[in-house]
Structure 1
Amino acid sequence: MSKKILIIPSWYPNTDNEQVGTFFHEQAQLLNNNGFDIKILFGVEKELGFFEYLKTRLKQICNKDNAVNITYLKQDPQAYAFNIYHYKKWRVKRKLKKSKKSYQLAFNSITEHWQPKLIHGQCGANGGIYAHYLSENTNIPFVIIEHQTFILDYYHKKIQRGIRKAIENASKIGAVSHHQERCILMNNMNCNPDIIWNLMDENKFQIDTNKTNDKFTIATITNPLLIKDSETFFKSLEAFQKICKDDFEAIIIGNDAFNDISKANSSYFESLAKKYNVFDKCKFYPQVSRSEINIYLQRCHVFVSTSIAETYGVAIREAMLCGKPVIATKSGGVEDSITVEIGVLVNIKDAHAIAENLLKIKNKELIFVPEDIRNHIINQSGKDAFIKTMTDFYN
């Protein structure tokens, strides 16, 4: 009989944004098809003004509108969503208490005929906190895999305490890189994390040199958050333009629509491109499907990441599955996969080092074997490797 696992993600693909948390969905889907019985439970937290909150609560009471649904989240495996409404002026303590109770009610409704043997919180904030709460009330063991940049001071003190209690009481803790493990332990957490590299599905990304552009092409996937340091990317293009005699092209995939993909645009990146006089070299793609990412990656000659910190680096490894060499800053999680045989690591914010290595790759002073790059990632975190790692982690 398949082991029943309830996953509580901190974000998940939904009808408002199909791109957010896609790796959570892909991991759950693979496990559900390979020896596990997986279900997803996710509360959609919404903060309302006073009268809107009263109106919503009255509607809930009159219509008994507290049920979970399978229409909001991406399915396969079965994923249950439910709404959690907060009055926006409530204190964090009250909001957290309300959310915990809402998770318990939703849990009760989906476990009448299906009882998990393990609860898996994806990230301490706040999936791990809710997993811990449910575990305390049901005596079902729970585990946490931490994916986010682990800076406790970012959170309210009440959330900080919740994260610490969850991590220190979990049956097992996973970290998606050695950098992430170090960050967790630097916060004086009483735990011993296992390294659980994210799934990199080799079937979704392929080598196809026939689709590579004739013009030398650089690609990046980013967002406007400070931690991605997009400005250094455009600085590196400016520096490259000064030392490269031939024409080149840059593909920039990304936007700032973290909640609503319909609002996706490239205005932030376009302004940086103009600032550094490389706008005419750039093509911007604010909204790209998973399948389209594969196509754009195959067009490029090299992928560049300029992050200040990466807990893992999904986009970087997707490019590597396409056989593309990567120039990346020493941002943490990427360092587990990039060696001198398959890519280049440079210091954070070193735009000139990026430009110099772009020129070496263009001029074939640096040569990498696409199959070696791809196989390195498959051996580390491809489908078979991920299933084995998670089977051990869940046991």
Structure 2
Amino acid sequence: MNKKILVIPSWYPNNKNDLVGSFYKEQAQLLNRNGYDIKVLYGIEHRLSFIKYLRKLFKTSTTLSTKFLKQDPEAFSFDIYYYKKWSEKKTLAHKKKQYEKAFNSLSQQWQPELIHAQSTANAGIYAYHLSAISGIPYVIIEHQIFLLNVYPKTIQKEMVKAIENAAKTGAVSYHQQRCILMHNIDCNPIITWNLMDETKFDILKNQSNSKFTILTITYPHFIKDSPTFFKSIKAFQDISDVDFEVIVIGNNSFKDITKANSDTFEAQAKANNVLDKCTFYPHLNREEIKRKLQECDVYVSTSIAETYGVAAREAMLCGKPVISTKSGGIEDSLNLNTGISVNIKDYKSIAEHLKKTSSGEHTFSPEIIRNFIIEQAGQKAFIKIMSDFYNL
């Protein structure tokens, strides 16, 4: 009988945004087809005014739905309503209670043997609570940039307790492992690479770009440091006479993708006088992203910190070299055969390496790049990693 695993994600692809947390879904889907019985439980939070909250007081039961979250594996969502002026402590207690009700409802038809929290805030906190009331062990894999001080004190304490009481804690990179341990938390994070599904990305044969194409996938947050990206494009333009284009995929919307736009990036490109070189895509589906990755010549990441670097590795599965700042997670897959590392904010070095790549001074084998990622975190490697991780 397949081992029953309940996945509690901190975010998950849904009807309003099918890309957010897509790697959570893809990982769960693969495991569900390879020896595990996976189900997903996710609470949709609604921060309400007093009047709107009062209208929800008579909602006495927690109804599980499979209509909002993307399915395969089976994924249940439920609503969490709370008053926006409650204290952090009261709000968290209320959320945990709603997860408890939803968990009890699900357990009537399906009882997990293990709870897997994807990220500590707040999935790990909920998993810790559910484990305490049910006696079912739980594990956590940390995906977010791990800085306790960005959270309220109440959340910080709960995060530490969740990690210290987990049967196992995983980190998706050595950088992530180091960040967790720097907080003096009593744990020993295991490296658990994210799945890089080689069946979803491949090398485009007979590629013939008329222009040297640079691609990045990002969003407008200081941690991604998009100003450095556009500075590097300006510096590259100043030192090279090659005909080039820049593809920028990303937006400022995490909940409703219909509100996505590229305004921030367009303003930065204009400020660096490279707007005419750039094409912006606020939102593309997975197949469209794959095509852009296949058609580019190089992928560039200018992040200050990356827990893992999914997009960069997807480019590598398409055989593309990566030029990246030394931001942590991506470095675990960068070597002389796969790409180039530069110091954070060093836009001049990025420009120099773009010039050498476009001129052919830097050469890379697409097959070597792709095979490195497959051996590290492809389907077979990922199933082995998770089988060991789930073996308590």
TM-score bracket, normalised by the shorter chain, equals: over 0.9
- Tell me how far apart the structure 2 counterparts of residues 364 and 247 of structure 1 sit (CA, whole Å): 14
- Tell me how far apart the structure 1 counterparts of residues 183 and 190 of structure 2 sit (CA, whole Å): 16
- Tell me how far apart the structure 2 counterparts of residues 56 and 195 of structure 1 sit (CA, whole Å): 43
Match of 2:371 in 1: 375
- Tell me how far apart the structure 1 counterparts of residues 207 and 251 of structure 2 sit (CA, whole Å): 25
1:303-382 equivalence runs, <5 A: 303-382=299-378
- CA positional deviation for 1:210: 2.8
| Equivalent of residue 82 in structure 1, options 53, 57, 78 | 78
1:172-251 equivalence runs, <5 A: 172-251=168-247
Amino acid at match of 1:251: I
Q: Which moved more, 1:212-221 or 1:262-271?
A: 212-221
SS in structure 2 at match of 1:30: helix
- CA positional deviation for 1:113: 2.4
Alpha-carbon distance change, 299 to 212 in structure 1, aligned in 2, over 3 angstroms: farther
1:50 aligns with 2:50: yes
- Tell me how far apart the structure 2 counterparts of residues 305 and 54 of structure 1 sit (CA, whole Å): 46
Match of 1:112 in 2: 108
Amino acid at match of 2:26: E
- CA positional deviation for 1:211: 4.0
Match of 1:18 in 2: 18
SS in structure 2 at match of 1:365: coil
Amino acid at match of 2:153: K
Match of 1:266 in 2: 262
Tell me, yes or no, if the aligned pair for 1:323 and 1:369 is still in contact at 8 Å. Answer: yes
Spell out, residue by residue over 1:125-169, the C-alpha distance to the aligned partner (whole angstroms, 9 max, x if none): 000000000000000000000000000000000000110000000
Tell me, yes or no, if the aligned pair for 1:219 and 1:251 is still in contact at 8 Å. Answer: yes
1:391 aligns with 2:387: yes
1:94-113 equivalence runs, <5 A: 94-113=90-109
SS in structure 2 at match of 1:82: strand
SS in structure 1 at match of 2:355: helix
SS in structure 2 at match of 1:46: strand
SS in structure 1 at match of 2:55: helix
1:255 aligns with 2:277: no
Tell me, yes or no, if the aligned pair for 1:31 and 1:387 is still in contact at 8 Å. Answer: yes
Tell me, yes or no, if the aligned pair for 2:262 and 2:282 is still in contact at 8 Å. Answer: yes
- CA positional deviation for 1:212: 4.8
Match of 1:37 in 2: 37
Spell out, residue by residue over 1:271-316, the C-alpha distance to the aligned partner (whole angstroms, 9 max, x if none): 0000000000000010110111110011110000000000000000
Spell out, residue by residue over 1:72-113, the C-alpha distance to the aligned partner (whole angstroms, 9 max, x if none): 101000000000001000001011000111001000111112
Tell me, yes or no, if the aligned pair for 2:114 and 2:138 is still in contact at 8 Å. Answer: yes
Superposed CA RMSD: 0.8
State the number of aligned residues.
Answer: 391
Match of 2:274 in 1: 278
- CA positional deviation for 1:16: 1.4
- Tell me how far apart the structure 2 counterparts of residues 33 and 296 of structure 1 sit (CA, whole Å): 29
Amino acid at match of 2:183: N
Spell out, residue by residue over 1:366-389, the C-alpha distance to the aligned partner (whole angstroms, 9 max, x if none): 100000000000000000000000
Spell out, residue by residue over 1:232-261, the C-alpha distance to the aligned partner (whole angstroms, 9 max, x if none): 000000000001112210000000011110
Match of 2:120 in 1: 124
Tell me, yes or no, if the aligned pair for 1:219 and 1:252 is still in contact at 8 Å. Answer: yes
1:297 aligns with 2:264: no
Please, which runs of 5 or more residues in structure 1 have no aligned partner?
A: none
SS in structure 1 at match of 2:361: coil
- CA positional deviation for 1:214: 1.9
SS in structure 1 at match of 2:79: strand
- Tell me how far apart the structure 1 counterparts of residues 79 and 207 of structure 2 sit (CA, whole Å): 44
Please, which runs of 5 or more residues in structure 2 have no aligned partner?
A: none
- Tell me how far apart the structure 2 counterparts of residues 366 and 239 of structure 1 sit (CA, whole Å): 18
Spell out, residue by residue over 1:338-391, the C-alpha distance to the aligned partner (whole angstroms, 9 max, x if none): 001211000000000000000001111010000000000000000000000000
Amino acid at match of 2:102: A
SS in structure 1 at match of 2:123: helix
- Tell me how far apart the structure 1 counterparts of residues 267 and 149 of structure 2 sit (CA, whole Å): 31
Q: Which moved more, 1:369-378 or 1:109-118?
A: 109-118
- What's the TM-score once normalised by structure 1's chain length? 0.98
Tell me, yes or no, if the aligned pair for 1:212 and 1:298 is still in contact at 8 Å. Answer: no
- Tell me how far apart the structure 2 counterparts of residues 310 and 212 of structure 1 sit (CA, whole Å): 31
Q: What is the aligned-residue identity percentage?
A: 60
Q: Runs in 1 of length 4+ with deviation above 6 angstroms? A: none
